A and B are shown apart, each in its own frame.
Chain A
Amino acid sequence: MSDQNTTLVKIRDLHFSRGSKTIFSGLNADIPQGGITTILGPSGTGKTTLLKLIGGQLKPSAGGIEVDGQQVAKLSRRDLYALRKRMGMLFQSGALLTDLNVFDNVAFPLREHTELPESLIHKLVLMRLHAVGLRGARDLMPAELSGGMARRAALARALVMDPMMIMYDEPFTGQDPISLGVLLELISTVNSALGLTSIIVSHDLAEALSISHHVVVISEGKVVEAGTPEQLQNSSSDWVQQFLNGRSDGPVPFQLKAPDYGQDLATTEARLDA
């Protein structure tokens, strides 16, 4: 957390839609350098889409995202790839290449992007695998790994190029308590030990809040609340309180919009009588 005050990712007036469905309508957010920022929101709000926009895999329909001073959508292919070499991304499934074993998966970016001798690559890969606790799994194929192990191997691969930031897409989904604890510990130590900026997209509240320095809550295409986890707990917004406490009714109603209940029942009766 060296430079908590500088902003690494600036999102300004972001608009994005898929077909006729609007996903973001004027989203503004800052992601500070050096800390762990969690982007929270209900399922289907486009959290993963936001990560893809930051990584330049999708282009916004209006507005823009600035990463380390560069407008992602306006970069040439060459510059975008140069920027991506400094970004790591951890996909929900791990996205390991299924035809390579764990060691070769982690070595893959090094072999593609550098001319390092194989002996040095061997050392670098073992160091990363040791950091995530998978040195003993180097010869396993991705299909032989559990979900948590696949994510750890993918984390080692994301770290091997020494990125400035790393994005996690739903890292806690479907994990047993032990691998959940391992992942939380890893994300947190990796972030502080390597001086990274981490962005976590999640709807697992307690886990995400426990390691975050900064939280952005999005809903219906806009930021609802942003601040430290403490500020969020004390938020005056009913919506945020409902989300944090998992209440079934509130600003997000339990009942979907429908005609008056009594009237609805009466009309059904009338229709059956007729």
Chain B
Amino acid sequence: MKLDELKAIREKASAKIEKRNADASQSEWKIVVSMGTSGILYGAREIIKKIIEEAENLELNVLVTQSGSFGLDDIEPVCAIYHNDEKVVYGKLKPEMIRELLETQIVNGNILTSYRVAVPGDVGNKPASE
């Protein structure tokens, strides 16, 4: 392993972290992909791969991670996007949807209603009139 390369990366990255910490308007986004057996069967591995790639392409400040099954086996692959205290769940994901999903939800801050799944505790679960 080329560990010596990490020194330069560390310096570059810590400058970025300091800048980010100083800018309070940069709030945290987190994407969690459901990676239980059923999720894996329906392609969750390709989904998380695509999310990592597209977040990198769009230079998003987002934490991408995985968890056990959400219990939404009938609409796998599933991911939840967290922002401040809000959570939106998206289901029946396909790799080709990911770019649009990240642009709509994270870059523009809108819910992509066509892929959104209403679950308890999800901000998208509010009635349309609200």
Partners in one complex: no
- Residues of B at under 8 Å CB distance from A? none
- Residues of A at under 8 Å CB distance from B? none
